[in-house]
Structure 1
C-alpha cells in the first residue's frame, strides 16, 4: 500500500513539475533560443558574412524566424529527407564564387554586404525544423510574387493563423495542448519584419539562380510550355497552405512531391505546387511531361536517386492558365478597399535575364510588327541579317579605319562632323556599328543564329515574349513597316535604281489602292544602257499601265479590230514621241530655253537637239524643234518597243507635252494600231495641240523627276487624287519583290543611308506632293519607335559596367518611350541621325534606368535621385563609381558599378547621405599627436588603421511610383539615409558625403602624371608639411602645403579627399607614381586661384 501511495505521489510531483515547465516556457522569450545547425547546412554557416551571421543568430531576422516557425509549427509537415537534400543544395550554392563571392579590398565600404544574402536561410536553420519549412515557403512566395505582394500575403497568413489558433482553443476540450501555439500567436510580427524576411529570401533565390543557371533555364523552358495553376483555392490562406504542404510532402490521398522524390519514389502531379517548389528550392529531379507528345527532361541532379521521376499529368490542366500560374485576392495590399486580385505566372514573363538576353525581347517586339516578314522568328532573323549583309557590301568599298566615337561623336554625343558630310560607305559601316541601336539588334540576331541548345531555346522564347509585347516600343500608328520602313513602297520607290523594279512596286501599290487603267497611269524614268544613252543623249521617261490591259487582235490589213480576247490581257507601256519643256525641270538643270531654243542654249552650243536632255536630265524628243521627224530617235524607239514586247508587255506610242499656261503634264495615248501606224497618226497632230484635246495628268505619289503614279484629271473627277488613302495593314512590299530589291546593284546607297539614318521621307530629297499618301509617323521619322530603341541600346551601355547584373522580364510590359529617365528634350525631334544616343546620362538618370530595368516596373523621377550614391535591390548593390575607386581615377559622372550583395532592405533601397555630415571636433588632449613635421619625400601609408563603414539612420522615405496606387501599404522603393563613417583605430573620425564633395570642383583632376623626369623629391620652396595622423589633419595649420601620406590606401585617400574638399581647401590627389617636378608645376597653377593659403596634397 505504501508503495502505491509513493508511486501516486511521484506521479503527482511529475505532473506538477511538467506544468511548471510549461508555464515557465510561456514566460521565456523563445525567440532568443538558438539551435545548432544540421550538418547538411554547415556549408552555409562557413561562407555567410559576419554581419549577416550575427543578424541571423542574434538579431531581428533570427527572432522573425523563431516567431514564424513557432506560429506555423503544427502546419508544417515532417519532411526530414527534403530538409537534408535542401541543406546539401544550399551548401553547394554557398560555395559558388559566382553566386556568393567573398569580399575583396576593391569592395571598400560595401565589403560587409558582399555575397549572397543567406540571412533568413541561416536564421531558419538555427531556429528549428519549423523555421526551415517557413523559409521554404518564403522562397516560394518570393519566386512568384513581387515584394509588396509577398509581404501582403505574409501579413494575411500571420493574421489568419492567429485567428485559427484562437478558434482551435475555443473548440478544444483540453485547451492546454495548444499552449505552444497560443504562446506563438501572442508574439508580434510587424509588417517591416515580414518585408525584411521576404527581401532576404528574394535576394537568396536570385543568387542561387546564378549558381544553378543551366538547370534553372532548362526548368523555365519547360514551364513555358505547360499550362497549369498552383491550385484553385479562393482564399489566400487556404491557397498558400495547400500549395505549401503539397510542395513539401504527399497528402494522404495523392502522393505528391519533394520529400517523396528525394527518397527515390516516382511521383505524379496534377497541379503546379511541386513545380513552384522545385524552382524555388533549386531541386531538379528528372521529369516526364504527358500530353499529345510525351517529353522527358533529364536534369541529372545528384541529390535524387535514378528512380526519382516526376511525372506531370498535364492533360488535366486548365488551358486558360499560362505556364505555372497563381491567382490570389490580396486583401492586405492596401490600407482601404476591396482585395487586389493579382495573378502571376512562373516562366519567362516573370523571370530574370541578362541585358544581352533583353535584346532578344526587343528583337521580338520589332519582328512583331513585320507582318509576313516576321511571321516566324527565323523569318525575322533572316531578313534582318540580309539588311546587315547589304550594309556590309556597301561598306567594303574602303579599308579606312573609322569608329563612331573617333569620327562622328564626342563622348557626350555631340556631333563633331556633320553626318551628311561623312562618306557614304563609312556611314553604311556606322549604321551597323555596335554603338547604334540597329547595330545592337544585328549583334543580337547573330548571337541567336550562333547559339545552340538551352541558350538557343531561351533566346527563341524571349523573342516570342517580345512578339507578344510589341507595344513596349511604340503604339501601332508609329511603327514603321517591315525592315525599318524599307518595305514601305513610298520609301522603297525612291531608293531603288532599277526601273523595272520601280514599275513593279508602283503596280503593286496600284493594286492595293484598287486603281484602274481608266483613271491612272505610271510614268517612270528610263535609264538605257551606255550605248543607248550615248545615242539618245541621256535618259528619258516612259509610261506604263497600272493593271493589265486587253488589246484587240490586229488583222493583217489593220482595217478593224476584233473584240477583246481575255487571253490577250497583259501589261502595257507607252513610249513618248513628242515632248515640250517643263519650265520647272529646265530651271533645275540650268537650261534657259522656254518653248523655243534661245541663242544661249547649251544644247545648240554642243550641236545637239534641244530637249529636256540638257545636262543629262529630262526627256527624249523624237521631233526636232522644226517639227521634222528625228529618224535616229525613231529607230531607237522602235528598238525599245521590241525590247518591251520581248519582256512580255504591249508597247504603244504616246504623245506627251507640258501645257504652256498651266504647267501641267498632258498626254495623248495611242493603242489598237501597230506601232508604226500609231506614230504616223500622232505625228500628224497639230503641234499646238490644246489641253482640252488631251488627258491632263496629276501626280498622286512619287516624284516628277523619277517615277510616280499619275491620275487622269478629268473634269468630272478632278479631285480623284485626294481620295487616295492606303490602309496601313496592307501597306508593304511583298517579300518576293523585296528579295529582288535588297541587292547593291539595284539600290541607291545615298537614299538608303538617308532613310535608315533619319526614317524621314524629307531626307530622300524627293518632291512628295501634299495630296499623296503619307502618314504623320513617316513624316516625323517614327519618333516614338526610335526613342524606345535608342533607350534600350543606351540601357545596354549602362549595364556593360555591371557584369552579372540581371533585369526583370516584366520590363517588356512597360512603354519604354515614356520612361522618366529619358530627358524631355531628348524626345524632341532633331536634325541628327536617330541611330545614336545623344543624351549624356547623369547619375540620377543612370540609377533611374537601372531601377526600372531591375524591377521591371518602377519608373522613378531621376530628379529625386540626384543625391543617391547607391541602390540596393535583390542580390545587387549598384554603387556610384567614385565610392569604389581611388579619387585620382575620376570616373565619369554617370558611371555606376555593381557589387554582388544586399544591404538587407526590402525593395529598391536608394542610399542617400545626411544633409550635414558630422566631423569630430578637435580634442584638447590631441596635442601630443600633432607634429606637422616637414615632409621628407618618403611616400608611405600612415593610415593603415583607417576604415570606412556603412550605417543607417531611422530616416526612410518611401517613393511614389505611378504604377502603384496611392493607398498601397508597402512602397517598393524608398530613400534610406545612410552614414558613411570614417574610423581610425576603432574611433569615429567623421561622416562623409562623397558625391557632393567630388562634385564641388575644388580638386585637380590629373596632376603629377609620370612624364619621364626624375621623381626624387627635393626639399626647398615651397615648403611641404607631413600629415601622418587624423589629429594633424583635423587641426591643420591655416596655410602651407600639407602632404597626406596614405600611399596606395584608396579608402583613406578617398576619405581625406572628401573632407579636405568639404573644408573648401584646394586639393590635389597624386597618382601612385609621383613626378615631383610636374607636381610642383600643378601646385603653382593651383596657388594662383587659391581662396586660402592652404593646399592639400594626397599621395
Structure 2
C-alpha cells in the first residue's frame, strides 16, 4: 500500500457569539474544517484512510501497542471508524487542544506502566493479543484533530453502560447527527456541502464498527483503571453523593451536551481556571479519562488534593451541589434508547457508577460480602461495622481457621474464608484505605441484600452465636468450673440474664458437696448431702428503705432455698434449729459437721400458734418439742403425717395448710452475704430422683408463692412471695442446661422463647476468653450449613430456617476467591451483587462434595472446566447466568482487556491440566484483547486441518539415528490464534439487537516461520489416551539435569530416530517402522512440544513426553530401569513418538 500524504490540520479561528460564548453552529464558523473535508473529497482520496501526524504526547502509547494493533489504528477498521466519526461530529467538538495533549501524556504514562510489561513468548497462541489495547486512542489521534474527543465520549459511555447499551447509544447518536445535518445544512453553502460529505461518511459507519469502537475503549478503561486504582478509589469516595447527569431533552442532546461540558470543564481546569460544578458528567469524565484536578468539597468542608502534575495551579473544581441520598451510588445517568431492540418503544436505561459500573477486586468482594451478611441480621443498621469485623476475626481465632489449609470452597468451613478476609482487611488496612473499606461494607449492607439470598433475613447475628443458648452449648465454662459450685451458679445466672428469662420462670438446682460421715457419726445420723434451689435472677425482697412518701422500696436480691437431704431420720434437721446445742450433747458433732451452715435464732415466729412477741405459742409443735421455730414446725408434722403416720402421733394434729412464714435466714456454703437464704420444706425435693437428679423433670412441692401466682408490677403483696409459703401446690420444671452438680431448670408451663441476645462486643470477648470449645464451635458452624440459623424467639428449642442458598452463595464467593487467588489485578462487576449468587447454575452443585476428577473422566472434567468459565462469565458481566452445559467446549474467554484461557493452551504438555479438576484453578488470566465487543467465548474447530504432504512426491526423509544430544530444532515454531467466520450469540435480551456474549470459533495454528503446518485441537490432544507423561525428576531440591539423551541413545541405539523438522513429524508413520521411536528434538521449547504432542496423538501414535528440562542423573537411572517405552504401545501399528 502506498504511503498516504500527511494532511495538515488547519486551526480554525474561535468565533464568539454576542454572549461571549462559542457559537454552537453558525454556518461560517467552521470554514477551515470544511475546506479540509472538501479538499479531500475533490482530490478523490479515500477519506477514511487519511492519516494525520500523531501528536508527540502519544508516542508512549505508540511504543506500547503491538504491531497488529498499531496497523489497525493507522490503516484498519478502527482508523476508518475514527475518521468517519470525526467527520460526522467535528462541527460540535470544541477546541480541546490542551485537553488532547494532556490526555496523550496520561495515556502514554499508563501504557508504559510496568504492570503491562509482558513477554509475548509466555502466551503462545495469544501472543499477538496480549498487552494494553489502546487501539481506539491511537486511531483517534492519527485520524483527525478532534478524533480524541470521540474516544473520550466512548470512554464515558463504556464506563456507564453495558456493551450492548453503549453500542445502541452510538447508533442512536450517529443517526441523530446525520438527521440533524440533513435538516439544518444548506447545500448551496460551502458548509452545507461539507456537512453532506460528513453525512456520506456517517452513513458508511456500520453497527459492528461502533461495537468494536466501544470494545476498544472498554478494554482501555479496564487496563487504565489498574494503574490508577488509588486515584479512582479516592475520587469515587468523594463524589458518591453527586447528582445525576442532566437527562433533559433527547438522548442525543443530553449525551452530546454533557460530553461537551465535560471536555470544556476539564480543559479549563488544566489551564488553571477554578470552577464550580454541579453537572455529574464532569466527575464521570474525570474517572473515565483518569485526569484528577484538585477538588473542594462542602459536605464536609475539605480539600482533596490529587497532586496531578497535568493541572496548573488554581485549577480546582468545587463540588457545587451534593445530594444526601443514603444509597450513595455516585454519578447516575438515565437515557432513552431507541436502537436497543429490533422492535418496540424506546427503552429507558438508568445506570449508576456505584451500582452498575464499578468493579471489585477480590479483597473488595470480601468486604462487600461481609456487609451482605450483616444485612441479613436482625436490625442490621444497629450493627457497628468495626465491632462486627473484630467479632469475625475473633471467631476465626476461636476456630483456629487456617486460610491456606481450609480456605478452599469445598472445605467444611471454606465459606467462612472470604468473610474472615474481609474482616481482617477492614481492621488492619492502612488508615487511608479505611474509608473505602467501610464504604464497601456499607454497600453490601445496604445495596447487596440480595447477594446471599433472603433465607436468613432477620436472623440472629453471627450465625446464631449471639443467642445465649447456642453460645452456651459450645462453651467449656461449666466443664471448667465443675469443681466450683458457686462459679457454675454465676454462669447460669449470666445465661438467664442474657436470655431475658423472668425470675419466676426458671430456677437453678444445685447439689453442694455431700457432708459424708465423719468421726463419731453413725450411718443413720450422717448428712449425705443437701439440695439448694437457687434463684436465677434477683427477686424483689423486703427492705427497710422507704421512699419520700413512706412507701417501702423493694430491694433486688438473689435467694436460695436450702434443704438437707438424704438422712435416715428427716427429723434430724431439727437439731440444727435448736437454740442451745448442748441440750443433746450427742448432736454437737452433727452441728460441728455443719460449720458452713448457721441459723440466726433471733427471729420470731409468725405462724398461727405464735404467742406474744412473735415467739411460738404453747401449741406450736416446735415449742412442744423444745425446739426453736423453723420451717420444720409445720412441714415436719405434715411430712410425718403423710410418710410416717405412726410417728406422727407423737406430734399434735395440725392444719395441713399451716406453715411458718418468718423463716430464719441461713447461710450456704459460699457464705454469700448478698443472697437471702431460706429453708425449704422437707417435701420440696421429694420428687427429685437422686440417680437422675439433673437430667429429669422434677416437681417443686410447696414452692414459693411467686412461682405459682402472677403479681402485677405494682400489686401490693401482704406477704413475702418468695418464702416457703404453704401453698399445697407444685410446679414442674424440666432441665434445660445442666452440669455435673448444677443445672438450670425451666418451668414446664413456660411457652415463650429466648428474647435476649448478647452484644457483639461480649461475643468477641467470649470467643477470645478461651472458654469456647473449638471442636464444638466447628461442628456448630458446619451443621449450620444444613440446619440454618436457629430462631429462639418463640421456642426454647429453636426453629431452624433452611439456608441452602445463603451458604451456597458463600461457597460460591469462596470459589471465586479461589479462582482469582493469583490474579491480584483482576476485577469483577459490582452488578454481581444484585442477585443471589448461590442460585447461579455454575454454583448449584457447590453444596455437594465431589472428589477431584481423574484425567480419564472426561465428562467430569468438561463439566468442571465449563463451570469455571460460567463463573467467569457471571463475574465479568455481573448479570449473565449461563449453564455449564452450554460451555462444554469453551477453552478461553476474552472480554475488555482481559483474556482467560485453560492452562493447557499455555504450558508444556508434560504438565497435567488442572482446568478440568474440581478445584477452582487451572485457568490463566492475562492482559489482552481480541478487539471484539462483549464477552467472547472461544471454542476449537471440530476437525482441525493438517498440512497434507504427499509422501509419494519426493517427500521421503531419511530417518537419522538419534545422536544423544537434547537440542531444540524447532526454533521457528510459533502458535497463533485466529478466528473463523463462525459465531453465534449465547446471551441476548429478548428482541435485543446486540448480544452481550458470543461464541466464536478460535483456531490455534502451528507455523514454522511463515509456513502454516497445522491447526490444533489442544484439548483433544492433552486428554488423549495415547499421551503418556513419563516420570521425571522427583527430587525435592532442584538439581542439574543429567545426560538423559546419551543414556537413551546408549540403551535404545538404532531404535531411536531423530525428528528435527515438521515434515518428518507429519510423515512419521510413513518414514518410521512400528517398533521404532521417533524422538522430537524440541528440548525446552514448550510451544513446539505442545504442537508436536497434539499432532502425534492426532496421527494415532503413542506419544511419550519427557520432562523438560531433563531429570537429574539419579532420576534418569530410575526412569531407564522401568524401560516403559518397550512395553507400552506394543499393539500399536504405528511408531511411537518421544518428545524431549
- Provide the TM-score with structure 1 as the length reference: 0.77
Which of 794, 815, 820 pairs up with 1:799? 820
Q: SS where residue 146 of structure 2 aligns?
A: helix
Q: SS where residue 237 of structure 1 aligns?
A: helix
For 2:672 and 2:678, locate their aligned partners in 1 and report how far apart those are by CA, in whole Å: 6
For 2:528 and 2:1026, locate their aligned partners in 1 and report how far apart those are by CA, in whole Å: 69
Q: SS where residue 505 of structure 1 aligns?
A: helix
**Residue in structure 1 matched with residue 460 of structure 2 by the alignment:** 481
**Residue in structure 1 matched with residue 357 of structure 2 by the alignment:** 350
CA contact (8 A) 2:496 2:537 kept: no
Deviation sequence 1:859-886 (CA, Å, 0-9, x none): 2212222211111112111111111111
Which of 248, 253, 256 pairs up with 1:238? 253
For 2:823 and 2:527, locate their aligned partners in 1 and report how far apart those are by CA, in whole Å: 63
Which of 1069, 1082, 1088 pairs up with 1:1046? 1082
- Seen in structure 2, the aligned counterparts of structure 1 residues 576 and 364 have a Cα distance that, compared at 3 Å, is farther
Q: SS where residue 314 of structure 1 aligns?
A: coil
**Residue in structure 1 matched with residue 262 of structure 2 by the alignment:** 247
Gapped runs of 5+ residues in structure 1? 1-16, 250-256, 396-401, 420-430, 556-562, 581-621, 629-636, 686-691, 714-719, 831-838
Q: SS where residue 296 of structure 1 aligns?
A: strand
Quick check: 149-158 or 481-490, which moved more? 481-490
For 1:529 and 1:954, locate their aligned partners in 2 and report how far apart those are by CA, in whole Å: 92
Q: SS where residue 1004 of structure 1 aligns?
A: strand
- Seen in structure 2, the aligned counterparts of structure 1 residues 212 and 540 have a Cα distance that, compared at 3 Å, is farther
For 1:336 and 1:1091, locate their aligned partners in 2 and report how far apart those are by CA, in whole Å: 61
1:950 maps onto 2:977 in alignment: yes
**Residue in structure 1 matched with residue 191 of structure 2 by the alignment:** 177
Q: SS where residue 800 of structure 1 aligns?
A: coil
1:57 maps onto 2:40 in alignment: no
Deviation sequence 1:1038-1069 (CA, Å, 0-9, x none): 51211111111111100011111222322111
Which of 864, 867, 882 pairs up with 1:845? 867
- Seen in structure 2, the aligned counterparts of structure 1 residues 138 and 657 have a Cα distance that, compared at 3 Å, is farther
Deviation sequence 1:423-448 (CA, Å, 0-9, x none): xxxxxxxx6xxxx3434433432233
- Seen in structure 2, the aligned counterparts of structure 1 residues 450 and 750 have a Cα distance that, compared at 3 Å, is closer
Which of 668, 672, 675 pairs up with 2:701? 668
Quick check: 294-303 or 475-484, which moved more? 475-484
Q: SS where residue 394 of structure 2 aligns?
A: helix
> Could you tell me how far 1:337 is from its partner in structure 2?
2.7
> Could you tell me how far 1:641 is from its partner in structure 2?
3.7
CA contact (8 A) 1:364 1:464 kept: yes
**Residue in structure 1 matched with residue 1102 of structure 2 by the alignment:** 1066
- Seen in structure 2, the aligned counterparts of structure 1 residues 926 and 113 have a Cα distance that, compared at 3 Å, is farther
1:37 maps onto 2:58 in alignment: no
- Seen in structure 2, the aligned counterparts of structure 1 residues 41 and 18 have a Cα distance that, compared at 3 Å, is closer
- Seen in structure 2, the aligned counterparts of structure 1 residues 161 and 745 have a Cα distance that, compared at 3 Å, is closer
For 1:971 and 1:572, locate their aligned partners in 2 and report how far apart those are by CA, in whole Å: 76
Which of 365, 368, 378 pairs up with 2:372? 365
Which of 267, 273, 279 pairs up with 1:265? 273
**Residue in structure 2 matched with residue 141 of structure 1 by the alignment:** 157
> Could you tell me how far 1:23 is from its partner in structure 2?
9.5
Q: SS where residue 137 of structure 1 aligns?
A: helix
Deviation sequence 1:360-399 (CA, Å, 0-9, x none): 111222233455796232121222233344446xx9xxxx
Q: SS where residue 227 of structure 1 aligns?
A: coil
- Seen in structure 2, the aligned counterparts of structure 1 residues 1067 and 646 have a Cα distance that, compared at 3 Å, is farther
Matches within 5 A, 1:656-735: 656=685, 658=687, 665-671=698-704, 694-697=730-733, 707=743, 710-713=746-749, 721=751, 724=752, 732-735=757-760
CA contact (8 A) 2:901 2:924 kept: yes
**Residue in structure 2 matched with residue 754 of structure 1 by the alignment:** 779
For 1:731 and 1:464, locate their aligned partners in 2 and report how far apart those are by CA, in whole Å: 26
- Seen in structure 2, the aligned counterparts of structure 1 residues 45 and 404 have a Cα distance that, compared at 3 Å, is closer
Q: SS where residue 1001 of structure 2 aligns?
A: strand
Matches within 5 A, 1:713-862: 713=749, 721=751, 724=752, 732-735=757-760, 738=763, 741-742=766-767, 744=769, 746-759=771-784, 772-777=796-801, 782-824=803-845, 826=847, 842-862=864-884
- Seen in structure 2, the aligned counterparts of structure 1 residues 274 and 1062 have a Cα distance that, compared at 3 Å, is same
> Could you tell me how far 1:827 is from its partner in structure 2?
5.3
CA contact (8 A) 1:644 1:651 kept: no
- Seen in structure 2, the aligned counterparts of structure 1 residues 368 and 933 have a Cα distance that, compared at 3 Å, is same
Which of 966, 972, 978 pairs up with 2:1002? 978
Quick check: 1070-1079 or 448-457, which moved more? 1070-1079
- Seen in structure 2, the aligned counterparts of structure 1 residues 151 and 738 have a Cα distance that, compared at 3 Å, is same
CA contact (8 A) 2:120 2:128 kept: no
1:204 maps onto 2:195 in alignment: no
> Could you tell me how far 1:762 is from its partner in structure 2?
8.5
1:382 maps onto 2:390 in alignment: yes
Which of 866, 871, 880 pairs up with 2:893? 871
Deviation sequence 1:920-951 (CA, Å, 0-9, x none): 11235763562221212121111111111111
For 1:541 and 1:1085, locate their aligned partners in 2 and report how far apart those are by CA, in whole Å: 85
CA contact (8 A) 1:271 1:317 kept: no
**Residue in structure 1 matched with residue 506 of structure 2 by the alignment:** 521
CA contact (8 A) 1:550 1:566 kept: no
**Residue in structure 2 matched with residue 192 of structure 1 by the alignment:** 208
Matches within 5 A, 1:1015-1034: 1015=1044, 1016-1017=1046-1047, 1018-1019=1049-1050, 1021=1052, 1023-1034=1055-1066
Which of 1124, 1129, 1139 pairs up with 1:1083? 1124
- Seen in structure 2, the aligned counterparts of structure 1 residues 573 and 66 have a Cα distance that, compared at 3 Å, is farther
For 2:671 and 2:1095, locate their aligned partners in 1 and report how far apart those are by CA, in whole Å: 85
1:899 maps onto 2:926 in alignment: yes
Which of 283, 297, 314 pairs up with 2:291? 283
1:461 maps onto 2:439 in alignment: yes
Gapped runs of 5+ residues in structure 2? 1-33, 479-487, 568-635, 648-663, 707-718, 852-859, 916-920, 1036-1040
Which of 320, 325, 335 pairs up with 1:328? 335
**Residue in structure 2 matched with residue 506 of structure 1 by the alignment:** 496
Matches within 5 A, 1:919-958: 919-924=946-951, 927-928=954-955, 930-958=957-985
CA contact (8 A) 1:930 1:1032 kept: yes
**Residue in structure 2 matched with residue 1000 of structure 1 by the alignment:** 1024
> Could you tell me how far 1:150 is from its partner in structure 2?
1.0
For 1:788 and 1:537, locate their aligned partners in 2 and report how far apart those are by CA, in whole Å: 61
**Residue in structure 2 matched with residue 911 of structure 1 by the alignment:** 938
> Could you tell me how far 1:642 is from its partner in structure 2?
6.5
CA contact (8 A) 1:1007 1:1082 kept: no
Deviation sequence 1:285-307 (CA, Å, 0-9, x none): 1111234x321111111111112
For 1:248 and 1:404, locate their aligned partners in 2 and report how far apart those are by CA, in whole Å: 49
User: How large is the Cα RMSD of the aligned pairs?
Assistant: 4.3
- Seen in structure 2, the aligned counterparts of structure 1 residues 573 and 539 have a Cα distance that, compared at 3 Å, is same
- Seen in structure 2, the aligned counterparts of structure 1 residues 739 and 1027 have a Cα distance that, compared at 3 Å, is closer
Deviation sequence 1:230-252 (CA, Å, 0-9, x none): 21424311110111110111xxx
CA contact (8 A) 1:506 1:709 kept: no
- Seen in structure 2, the aligned counterparts of structure 1 residues 772 and 68 have a Cα distance that, compared at 3 Å, is same
- Seen in structure 2, the aligned counterparts of structure 1 residues 888 and 471 have a Cα distance that, compared at 3 Å, is same
CA contact (8 A) 1:755 1:763 kept: no
For 1:46 and 1:1013, locate their aligned partners in 2 and report how far apart those are by CA, in whole Å: 43
Aligned length: 938
Matches within 5 A, 1:548-563: 549-551=539-541
For 2:787 and 2:261, locate their aligned partners in 1 and report how far apart those are by CA, in whole Å: 64
- Seen in structure 2, the aligned counterparts of structure 1 residues 1073 and 640 have a Cα distance that, compared at 3 Å, is farther
> Could you tell me how far 1:315 is from its partner in structure 2?
5.4
- Seen in structure 2, the aligned counterparts of structure 1 residues 40 and 1096 have a Cα distance that, compared at 3 Å, is same
Quick check: 477-486 or 80-89, which moved more? 477-486
- Seen in structure 2, the aligned counterparts of structure 1 residues 684 and 212 have a Cα distance that, compared at 3 Å, is closer
Matches within 5 A, 1:628-643: 641=668, 643=670
- Seen in structure 2, the aligned counterparts of structure 1 residues 651 and 912 have a Cα distance that, compared at 3 Å, is farther
